[in-house]
Chain A
Amino acid sequence: MQYMEAVQLLTNLRRGVVEPCVLAVMLEGEIYGVDLARRLTALGLLASDGTLYPVLARLRSSGLVSTRWEESRSGPPRRYYRLTPEGVATVDRFIESWRTFSGAVDTILKETRR
């Protein structure tokens, strides 16, 4: 596969799962932007750190995530992100759907393996 096609495929695959993955990280507790971005970028779930912020903006606008300020010992105050009750419900629904869906993809790839 050509390099650009591979990049485009990854972009398309990320599109539907980045938001729920961001929410899923917050199941562990509140987190601030830099940590969240580095963690997801390291896993390849984000193309780059900066692409986290449009996702967070959408999640805030749709009421799935709320924010809180906290003073930091080492620098400027940090904005922490956490799930709202609607956010928790959304992650739960996603986990349910993802298990079924990814199981189906695995099955078809196994059955048709050459």
Chain B
Amino acid sequence: MTSQPPAVRAYLDDLRRLLDGSPDRDLVVDGVRRHIDDALAAGPADPAQVRAVLDELGDPAAIAAESVPAPVQPAAPPPFLERRGGAVLTVVLLTFGGIVVPVAGWIVGLGLLWSSKGWRLADKLVGTLLIPVVLAAVLMIGALVANASGPSAAIPAHVVLLVAFPVLDLAVGVFLLLRFRVASGLPVSR
């Protein structure tokens, strides 16, 4: 075929685009192209004749609808850290990791927390800062009280840590578990 009328080219381009991904695309487009060549072979292709042949072929969308659909790609499951199991691991490392392996366990938990898409920025800030900030504040207030009213009135620092730390630690863990959302493309509904 040396010269293809523009209407034919446009029709075949449409069809090819609509069949994109279908395993039968090339066979179908080739069949339709040869149908047009054959149907127009009888004489010189005047525009009305071309129009008539394309009309008889029908809407490219109707042809594509008859074709084997493109294979559906199953949606990839979210990576482990974005799923509930990953969230639990992150929270366990944050709350107990520092006890099992001092400091390092907690830092690994922080790394997981910040690399996860399951928490919003505010949740990550709370999970990271609440314990250090509150503990520092409690110890500072304790020190101020001790300065003002003498050592006997102060609650010893290790008592503060022993009581306040586990409570805060568990509270943050529960908070993070409640705030975790399995990440999806959709905005999180509130």
Q: Which A residues contact B (CB, under 8 angstroms)?
A: 32-34, 37-38, 41, 47-58, 60-61, 72, 74-76, 78-79
Contact = CB atoms under 8 A, between A and B. Distances in A.
B90 to A, nearest CB: 49
A32 to B, nearest CB: 7
17 contacts: A33-B35, A48-B57, A48-B63, A49-B35, A50-B32, A50-B57, A51-B66, A53-B63, A54-B66, A54-B67, A55-B66, A57-B27, A61-B27, A72-B41, A74-B41, A75-B42, A76-B1
Contacts of B63: 48, 50-51, 53-54
A61 B27 CA distance: 9
B123 interface: no
A76 B35 contact: no
Interface string B49-61: 0000000111110
Mostly, the B contact residues are helix
Contacts of B56: 38, 41, 48-49
Interface residues of B, number: 26
B35 A37 contact: yes
Given A41-B56, A51-B58, A60-B27, A33 B38 contact: yes
Interface of B: 1, 15, 23-24, 27-28, 31-32, 34-35, 37-39, 41-42, 56-60, 62-64, 66-68
Contacts of B60: 50
B31 A33 contact: yes
B39 to A, nearest CB: 5
A56 B37 contact: no
Contact of B38 (A34, A52, A55, A56): A34
B28 A54 contact: yes
A54 B38 contact: no
Contact of A48 (B38, B62, B64): B62
Given A47-B62, A51-B66, A54-B66, A75 B38 contact: yes
A26 to B, nearest CB: 15
A57 B28 contact: yes
B62 A50 contact: yes
Contact of A57 (B31, B42, B57): B31
Given A48-B58, A57-B24, A32 B38 contact: yes
A85 B56 CA distance: 32
B11 to A, nearest CB: 9
Given A33-B34, A76-B1, A79-B34, A49 B57 contact: yes
Contacts of B15: 50
Contacts of B24: 54, 57-58, 61
A78 B28 CA distance: 15
A54 B57 contact: no
Nearest to A41: B56
